[in-house]
Amino acid sequence: MRIQKFLSETGTVSRREAERLIAEGKVSVNGKVVKELWTQIDPEKDLVKLENRPIKKEDSLYILLFKPTGYITTLKDDRGRPSVSDLIKDIPMRVFPAGRLDFNTDGLLFLTNDGDTAQMISHPKYGLEKTYIVKVSKIPNKAVLDGLREGIKLSEGKTLPAKVKMVSTLKNSCYLEIIIKEGKKRQIRRMLEAVGHPVRKLRRVKIGFLSLQGLEPGEYRFLTLSEIKRLKKKVGKKERE
């Protein structure tokens, strides 16, 4: 197993962070500093240290959390704001979010200590769909909806095509279902601002086939073994396509 893969799978750091730390000479194997990303190790026999701290592989955890509004998607905040770590204090192992939901967005958040699966969840190349229910100001016409489906130009480039449908209409607003395969910063909000329909309320209700069903705001559950297998099979197939 490559050293950076081992570090990410232990939940110590992400794969990208592991590569940076290795290059900086902060990782050793059996007492010898290694800087080559192709370094192979045997997790059962070799002693790996990060900044002189022994690293051991722990069991993988896969968690679905219903993040409420008013929480940031980080494990700690230097400004003292509530974070998702406050909602999972009873989990003794370190897990980290795969992707983000902004402070004023609630809904489904995936947390794990498995760096490879976190990458598969969050990176657009794996094509995992994220489903949102959005309340927007005013009622968009067909041209606006078609524009969202085709992609919206943002500062960092055009968004990928989205699936968009009207769920219900009110007097001066409506609810939309929007499905995307990427996760640019504040993407849904920025897309709708760009077409003149600012978001009033935003909730992520699904990640792939995983949903909020059975969860209340602030609650979490562990994935079942069958869900884990199905998820890995789904994203693994997308990667090969």
Identify the structural domains of the chain with CATH numbers, from first to last: 3-55 (3.10.290.10), 62-125+210-240 (3.30.70.580), 129-207 (3.30.70.1560)
pLDDT of residue 218: 95
Q: Is 142 helix (H, G, I), strand (E, B) or coil?
A: helix
Asked if 145 contacts 196 with a C-beta cutoff of 8 angstroms, the reply is no
75 or 51, greater pLDDT: 51
Check pLDDT > 80 for residue 77: no
Instruction: Give whole-number Cα distances, 99 to 15, 77, 204, 221, 225, in Å.
Output: 14, 17, 12, 18, 22
CB atoms within 10 A of CB 109: 23
Asked if 62 contacts 222 with a C-beta cutoff of 8 angstroms, the reply is yes
Listed in sequence order, the residues at least 6 apart from 49 whose beta carbon sits closer than 8 Å to its beta carbon are 27, 28, 29, 55
pLDDT of residue 57: 67
Segment 14-27, tens digit of pLDDT: 778 888 999 999 99
Residues carrying an active site annotation = 102
Segment 111-150, tens digit of pLDDT: 998 888 888 888 888 888 999 999 999 999 999 999 999 9
Strands (DSSP E) contained in 43-129 are 48-50, 53-55, 62-67, 96-97, 106-112
β-pairing verdict for 157-158 and 220-222: unpaired
Q: Work out the mean pLDDT of the chain and round it to a whole number.
A: 88
d(CA 150, CA 130): 17
